[in-house]
Amino acid sequence: MKKEKALYREFLKSKNLKLTKPRLIILEAVFKNNEHFNVDDLYEQIKRNHQNVSRATIYRTIPLLVESGLISQSLRCESKDIYEHTYGHENHLHFICSNCGKIIESGFNEVEGLIEQLANKENFKIQEYNLGARGLCKNCRE
Amino acid sequence: MKKEKALYREFLKSKNLKLTKPRLIILEAVFKNNEHFNVDDLYEQIKRNHQNVSRATIYRTIPLLVESGLISQSLRCESKDIYEHTYGHENHLHFICSNCGKIIESGFNEVEGLIEQLANKENFKIQEYNLGARGLCKNCRE
DNA sequence: TTGCTTTTGAGATTCATTCTCAATAAATAC
DNA sequence: GTATTTATTGAGAATGAATCTCAAAAGCAA
């Protein structure tokens, strides 16, 4: 959380943006959450903590967090955008259970190299991976 | 297009649904389109062809096409759901240019095996892949 | 045909996200 | 410190894709 904050501050400064109180509250909520969250999760968490930030500000702040590399958009669930921590987390792929909605994370290393090769073939510079598959999890297979 | 239609008819019958005129018009529009399309694309294409189907019906029909395996949801672009042909198309992964929106398709075979292994490790049964990466295409790299 | 079920079109509704704009806060100049 | 300028915020309005409603139309069986 220390490093995240430093990085954020750095990023904002480089963009001539200010590390205001709402932006700080949002940062803290993001990293107090477990890895996957959506805007409502943040909003509720902040309220639960007796703080207050408007939804508008959350919506405005998320792109900053994404651009700074701290989080990234990962999936959609129930027609809401879902984000996840990026900083300090290995890339990974998602297996999403189409029955119960469970998200399973799985390794990535081996896959990454391959995909990079494919990208190179197309002269494409990857900024952000988006790898997953839908299907049935262990429990729902029966 | 022959096979697609047969498959569709088959599927509808198995669900006790009827192959009505609007449903047929939509099927034709879907497969006259090139691979990626959204609801508006279909709607416009149908109108251009001097036919008429309401947006509501398109929205209602797409899930049927997905369930039948003829198409699948692939990406979102400009906050619209995008679909793609599945039937008769190899699985592939998408490189999406975050600058110009271009979609590049790339091979898959080698990746598929790896990912399947990872899924097996989790006892997860894959139904549908969703593999891609955002970044900059050849033209936008400069 | 008649009666019954499914499907459709049109418009209303929902709901996540974005936008607007007046009020506030931060930063800088004086 | 105060005044001035600029960036940011909150509240609610607006947007727009997707879904829902319901009366009318189409399909189907007998």
Per cent of chain A over pLDDT 70 is 100
With 80 as the cut, is the pLDDT of residue A101 above it?
no
Of the pLDDT bands very low, low, confident and very high (cuts 50, 70, 90), residue A109 is confident
B61 and B124 assigned to the same domain: no
Domain boundary among B85, B105, B126: B85
> Do B9 and B75 fall into the same domain?
yes
Strand A93-97 relative to strand A125-136, pairing: parallel
| CA of B137 vs chain A CAs: smallest distance (Å) | 5
Q: Report the pLDDT value the prediction gives residue B122, as an integer from 0 to 100.
A: 92
Which residues does A contribute to its contact with B (CB < 8 Å)? 76, 93, 95, 97-98, 104, 106-107, 110-111, 114-115, 118-119, 121-138, 141
Q: Quick one: A13 and A45 in the same domain?
A: yes
The reply to whether B60 and B109 lie within a common domain is no
- DSSP label at residue A70: S
Top-confidence residue, A55 or A74: A55
Q: Examine the fold and report which residue of A62, A85, A108 is the final residue of a domain before the chain moves on.
A: A85
pLDDT for residue A100 is more than 80: no
- B136 and A119 within 8 Å at the Cβ level: the answer is no
Q: If DSSP codes are grouped into helix, strand and coil, which group holds residue A66?
A: helix
CA A48 to the chain's CA centroid: 21
Assess whether A130 and A78 both reside in one domain: no
One domain, residues A40 and A77: yes
Residues B101 and B70 in one domain: no
**Which residues 106 to 125 of B reach strand D, CB within 7 A?**
none
The pLDDT-based confidence of A21 (bands split at 50, 70, 90) is very high
- Burial label for B120, CB within 10 Å (0-12, 13-18, 19+), is exposed
The CATH number assigned to the domain holding B121 equals 3.30.1490.190
Instruction: Look at A136 and B119 and tell me if their CB atoms are within 8 Å.
Output: no
Q: Is the CB of A59 under 7 A from strand C?
A: yes
Nearest CA to B30 out of B7, B14, B10 is that of B7
Are A65 and A6 part of one and the same domain?
A: yes
**Is residue A120 pLDDT above 90, yes or no?**
yes
Whole domain around residue A123: which residue ranges? 93-141
Total structural domains within chain B: 2
- The token pair that represents A76 in the structure block: 């959609």
**Which contiguous run of DSSP H or E holds residue A87?**
none
pLDDT for position A26:
97
Strand partners for B80: B77
Domain boundary among B85, B113, B132: B85
Same domain? A7 vs A74: yes
Q: Are residues A97 and A81 in the same domain?
A: no
User: What are the tokens at B97?
Assistant: 């240019």
Contact B132, B94 (CB under 8 A): yes
pLDDT in tens, B55-107: 999 999 999 999 999 999 888 888 999 999 998 887 888 888 877 778 888 88
Residues A28-33: what's their mean pLDDT?
Answer: 92
Nearest to A91 by CA among A63, A69, A76: A69
Q: Do residue A12 and residue A67 come from a single domain? A: yes
Q: Is the pLDDT of residue A52 over 90?
A: yes
Looking up residue B42, the CATH number of its domain turns out to be 1.10.10.10
In this structure, the answer to whether residues B54 and B104 fall within a common structural domain is no
User: CB-CB: which of A124, A129, A130 is closest to B138?
Assistant: A124
